[in-house]
Structure 1
Amino acid sequence: MRLSEFWDRMNRQFGETYAASVAKDYVIAELGGRTIEQALADGESAKRVWEAVCATFDVPPHLH
């Protein structure tokens, strides 16, 4: 998954403003207690981060 696709899915799930807030502020256990921004900055793949988002939030199946 490309990073642009990841952000497109985040924006569709949360809306642009809230997606940025979730990425910056929400600590996800499946990402080792990191935020989305931290995990991506550490080199975690966008696909892996998106899978963690799907597991943590109620993401509709059509966005998986």
Structure 2
Amino acid sequence: MNAMSEKQIYRILNVVSLLALTYYAATSINYIVESDAQIYSYDRQINSNWLTARLEAHPSGK
């Protein structure tokens, strides 16, 4: 009976470990995706500001 309860404990610990690992992986992937989106948004804003400043400094039709 003791060996059987040890197997159940290890089975429960394995399930809990897998759940924790899955949660960690999901939050890590979410963090990476959100970070990339913020970097892309920041880069796009910088490029937009640079282009606007350049167009204002050198008007093409005047």
TM range (shorter): under 0.3
Structure with larger Rg = 2
**TM-score (structure 1 length as normaliser):** 0.21
Higher percent of residues as helix: 2
> Whose strand fraction is larger, Structure 1's or Structure 2's?
1
Higher RCO (CA-CA < 8 Å; seq separation 6+): 1
Given the two structures, how large is their TM-score scaled by the length of structure 2? 0.22
